[in-house]
Amino acid sequence: MKSSEALRELADVTAGQWGMVTTAQAAALGVARLTLSRLAESGHLERLAHGVYKDAGAPDGEFDELRAAWLGTEPKRLAEDRLSDAASGIVVGGTSAASLHGVGDSWASRHEFVAPVRRQSQRDEIRFRQRTLEDRDVTVVEGLPVMRIERTLADLLEDLGDRSLAADALSAAMKKHSVDLDRLSELLNPLAERNGFQKNDGTALLNALTESVGLDANSIARRITANAALGSRIATEYMQNLLFTEQGARLLNAMGEMQLPTPAVSAELMKVMQRAARPRLDAIWKVLPSTESLGLTKSMAEAVNTQALANLSQHWARHATFPAALADKPLPVAPTDLEEPRDAAE
C-alpha cells in the first residue's frame, strides 16, 4: 500500500483517538507494520510507545503518553468502543488517576490501570491492579476512562498506605473539585480498621484526613472567624437568614436570656443585628403603600427604620427576651420572597 493511501486509511482512526493508532488497528485496515515504520521515518507519523503511533500533524497533549499506554493495553479495540462500557474495561487508576484529576502531578512515575480481571504487562512503565468498579465510580477525563475523584482518593490510600499523601490529595481535590464526601466516606469504610479506626468507620477516617490538613469544620470556622472582615460578613449573613424564620425567632428569644460577658460584645452584636435587619426593613417598605399615602414623608419613613433598628439592637443588648407574640410567629419574610411592588397605575 502506498504511503498516501495508508495515511488516508489511518485518518479515519486517528481522528477519534487524539491522532493515534495502534499497529493492530492499522493491520485491520490493511496497513502493515513496515508501512508504519516507513511513515515514521518520513516524518508523517511519530512513534509514541511500543505499537502506538501518532499523526505528526496532530497537536501535542499533556497526557499523550498515558493515552498511548491505555490504547496499547487493548490494541485491537477502538477508543470509542472502549469508552462505551468503561467500568467493565481498563480504567486509569492510582497515581495516574490523581494526575488526570490534577491532584498529584508529581506522583505518577508509571502508568497505572485497573481492570476487573487479573492483567500483567511486560513493560516496566505500566502497572495493572485488579479492581471491580461500579459505573458511578468511573468518569471520562481528557478523553480517558478514569476513577472518579472519590474512588481515586480511596484507591490512593489503599495502594500507598500513606495517610499523609492521601490527605494532601484530598486537600488538593477539595480545592479543585466538588467532592462527594458521603461517597468518599463509604469508600473508606473497608480501610478504616487498618488505619486504626473502628471497622467500617469510614466517617472517622475521613474526619482524621480532613483534620490533618485543616479542612474539618472546626478548622475552617477558626480561620473564618480569625479574619475580622470575613468573620463579620459571615456573622451578618447568618443573622440575616436566622432572624426572619419562626425557628430563628424562638432561638433568638432563648439567646436573649444569655448573659453576654462584656459591654463591648453587646455593642458588636448590636452592629451585627443592625446590618442584618436593615435590608429586611427596607424590603418591607417596598411592598407597603407609598409613604405619602400613609401620611409619612421619606424622612419620616427613614426615622421609623432607624428607630426600629435602634430598638431591636438595644433590646438585644439589654438581654431581654423577645415579646411572646414575636416568638410565636414568623418574622417578615426575606426580600426574595416578597412580591415586587406593583405600579401605581395598575
- Shared-domain flag, residues 260 and 329: yes
**Domain membership flag for residue 278:** yes
- Residue 8 to residue 4: CA distance in whole angstroms: 6
**Domain membership flag for residue 129:** yes
Q: pLDDT at position 49, please?
A: 87
- Residue 284 to residue 332: CA distance in whole angstroms: 8
- Shared-domain flag, residues 91 and 209: yes
- Shared-domain flag, residues 236 and 326: yes
| Per-residue pLDDT tens over the stretch 188-236 | 999 999 988 899 999 899 888 888 777 666 666 666 666 666 666 666 6
| Per-residue pLDDT tens over the stretch 260-316 | 444 444 555 566 666 666 666 566 556 555 555 555 556 666 666 666 656 655 555
Q: In 244-346, where does DSSP find H-type helix?
A: 246-255, 263-287, 298-317, 324-327
- Shared-domain flag, residues 40 and 64: yes
- Shared-domain flag, residues 48 and 90: no
- H or E element, residue 141: strand 138-141
- Shared-domain flag, residues 184 and 127: yes
**Domain membership flag for residue 12:** yes
The last residue of a domain, from among 219, 249, 275: 219
- Shared-domain flag, residues 141 and 236: no
Q: How many domains does the chain contain in total?
A: 3
* Average pLDDT across the chain, whole number: 75
Domain of 28, CATH number, reads 1.10.10
- Shared-domain flag, residues 293 and 312: yes
Cα angle, residue 108 at apex, residues 102 and 110 outer, rounded to 5° = 140
- Shared-domain flag, residues 70 and 95: no
**Domain membership flag for residue 346:** no
- Residue 205 to residue 191: CA distance in whole angstroms: 8
Write out the residue range of the structural domain in which residue 26 sits. 3-76
Q: Is the pTM of this model over 0.85?
A: no
- Shared-domain flag, residues 95 and 49: no
**Domain membership flag for residue 117:** yes
Q: What confidence category does residue 85 fall into, taking pLDDT thresholds of 50, 70 and 90?
A: confident
| Cβ–Cβ under 8 Å, residues 2 and 42 | no
- Residue 244 to residue 332: CA distance in whole angstroms: 6
* Residue 157 to residues 40, 86, 161, Cα–Cα distance (Å): 42, 23, 5
- Rounded to 10 degrees, the C-alpha dihedral 30/35/36/38 comes to -170
| Per-residue pLDDT tens over the stretch 322-343 | 333 333 333 333 333 333 334 4
Q: pLDDT at position 336, please?
A: 36
Report the 10 Å Cβ neighbour count for 222. Answer: 11
The last residue of a domain, from among 190, 219, 248: 219
**Domain membership flag for residue 226:** no
Residue 258 predicted with pLDDT over 70: no
**Domain membership flag for residue 140:** yes
- Shared-domain flag, residues 192 and 91: yes
**Domain membership flag for residue 227:** no
- Shared-domain flag, residues 109 and 206: yes
| Cβ–Cβ under 8 Å, residues 139 and 148 | yes
The last residue of a domain, from among 21, 49, 76: 76
Name residues whose C-beta falls within 8 Å of residue 170's C-beta, 6 or more positions apart in sequence.
Answer: 153, 179, 209, 210, 213, 215
